[in-house]
Each structure stands twice: as structure tokens, then as C-alpha cells.
Amino acid sequence: MTDKRTGNYSPKWFGLAVQALIILAKENVQTCPSVEIANNLQSEATLMRRVLAVLAREGILETREGRDGGYRLKKAPESIALVDLYSAFQVSSPLFYGIEDSMGTHPFGVEMKEVFLDITGEMDRSLREVLRRYTITELAQKLHPKAL
């Protein structure tokens, strides 16, 4: 399911993905079922499976079928930067889409769209720079031990 206002996936998916990866990194488990991850995050299991499927497609998670199946990290948590998740979910700024919706097809609107494309492009690059500085391990270390 896509949402025109926020890119291909809702920013909520990005947040759920970050939290799920922290749980998997902190628990250091062999596998964890999506239902258990969803329960920890007080989220819908179906939504969580969709989020985790994206992470598996991107090579961040591995899946295991069967009774002891579930998800586990395929990459070391210190090598997973938040920018990787941002890119995986192709999250876009709601501000950009709000601005774009305000532009008309008249000459002034078309010209303003070009101006705003430059600004929102710069915003996206800046956000990616910030997200590149944080990894799943760093976020997990910031949590209180009883937070999980």
C-alpha cells in the first residue's frame, strides 16, 4: 500500500523497521517471529510482516520458515545505518508533497515547482547525511536496559 504524501511507504514503516531491528540486535536471538516483534511494538502483525519483508528484500534480515522460524539480522547491527532504512522504504517528506500539491500547471506554478524542487532536494540530501551518522547499534546503546 502506498501513500502519495509520503513516498512509497509511510514514515511509520521506517519507525517500525528501526525499532524491530533494535529488538533483534538487543535480543541477539537466532530468530524472532513477526508476531513477537509486533507485540513488542504494539503493532499489527500483518503490518509488521510487510515491514520485515521489505528489510528481507533489501538483505538486512534473513527469514527462516517452520516452527522455529522468524526473522534475524543478516547484517551486523553496527553496519546498518538509518539511511539504509530510509532508502529501503523510499520515505519522502510530507512537506514536499504538500508543496507540490499547491503548485498549479500555470506558468508561475511550474516555475515555483522548479524552485521548490531545488530546496526539497537539498532537504533530502541533508536528512540523508544525518541518518548516515546513526546505526542500529548506536540507537540500541542509547536505550535504557529495561526499555525492551
Q: What is the pTM of this model?
A: 0.80
- What is the distance between the alpha carbons of residues 14 and 18, in angstroms, rounded to a whole number? 6
pLDDT tens for residues 51-103?
Answer: 999 999 999 999 988 877 899 999 999 999 999 999 998 776 666 667 777 88
Three cell numbers at 142?
A: 542509547
Domain total in the chain:
1
The residue behind cell 500555470 is 106
Q: Using the 8-state DSSP alphabet, how is residue 33 labeled?
A: -
- Contact indicator for 29, 72 with CB cutoff of 8 Å: yes
Of 75 and 10, the structure prediction assigns the larger pLDDT to 75
Could you tell me the residue range of the domain that residue 74 belongs to?
5-91+134-147
For residue 126, count CB atoms less than 10 angstroms from its CB and return exposed for 0-12, middle for 13-18, buried for 19 or more. exposed
- What is the distance between the alpha carbons of residues 7 and 92, in angstroms, rounded to a whole number? 5
Q: Using the 8-state DSSP alphabet, how is residue 32 labeled?
A: B
In a domain, 98, yes or no: no
In a domain, 97, yes or no: no
Q: CATH no. for residue 59? A: 1.10.10.10
Cβ partners under 8 Å of residue 110, min gap 6: 103
pLDDT tens for residues 114-145?
Answer: 888 888 888 889 989 999 999 999 999 998 66
Which amino acid belongs to residue 107? P
- What is the distance between the alpha carbons of residues 44 and 78, in angstroms, rounded to a whole number? 27
In a domain, 52, yes or no: yes
